[in-house]
Amino acid sequence: MNFKIPACLILLVSLVVCAQSGFADEAEPKKCLKGIEVLTGFGSAKLRDKATYHPITFYLDLDFDLKPQLEKINFNPPVMFDFVLEPFASYSYQPDNNAEIGNNFLIKIGFVPETWKLQPYFKGGVGFIYITQHTREQGTQFNFNEYAGLGLHYFLNKRTAITAEYRYRHLSNASIKSPNRGIDTNYGIVGVSHLF
């Protein structure tokens, strides 16, 4: 598996987001990268012919504020509205020792004004993943995943928050190769978030 192309894609997407939102008004430059989150989670998925699949995942979330772009179309939400670039790596001890590596492209939308200490949000999107685990569900080790989940930031101060999330992940290979039954995983995630 050659990871040079996905790394270039990640860099390109990051640069485009920064170029579009970083300097909307030269008189008042805006920050491109809004914050960073370090998260870890435990997942559980049922496999047909093997024991339950248990990945332990480590995420690095790079949060980019989309509101400067939304303001250009006269949409000014008072809530969090972020694009999240999320590289991740997982270790699974069951059914076999194996690993996952990939990247997600997510949207994070808050439910309350950003000034509140308690910030519930929705997070969802898509990504790509390479898994070393061989299963009867998937005919390939390179797959795609879709995420949807709910989370909560509890701000300890203006810049630092404790974060908790529930996520549902669907993993499949987009019918590149048969079988493609998919693997559905439920995750509990915790971590720390920091705003710049």
pLDDT tens digits, residue range 106-142?
A: 999 999 999 999 999 999 999 999 999 888 888 889 9
Structure confidence at residue 179 (pLDDT): 87
Residue 61: how many other CB atoms lie within 10 Å: 22
Structure confidence at residue 26 (pLDDT): 46
Give residue 120's domain range. Answer: 4-195
Structure confidence at residue 56 (pLDDT): 96
Residues of the chain with pLDDT under 70: 1-31
Structure confidence at residue 178 (pLDDT): 87
- Strands of 25-73 (E only): list them: 33-44, 55-65
Task: Assess whether the previous peptide bond of 87 is cis (omega < 30° from 0).
Answer: no
pTM of this structure: 0.82
Structure confidence at residue 1 (pLDDT): 40
Structure confidence at residue 9 (pLDDT): 53
Number of domains present in the structure of the chain: 1
What CATH number has the domain bearing residue 94? 2.40.160.20
Structure confidence at residue 153 (pLDDT): 98
For residues 79 and 121, give the distance between their C-alpha atoms in angstroms, rounded to a whole number. Answer: 9
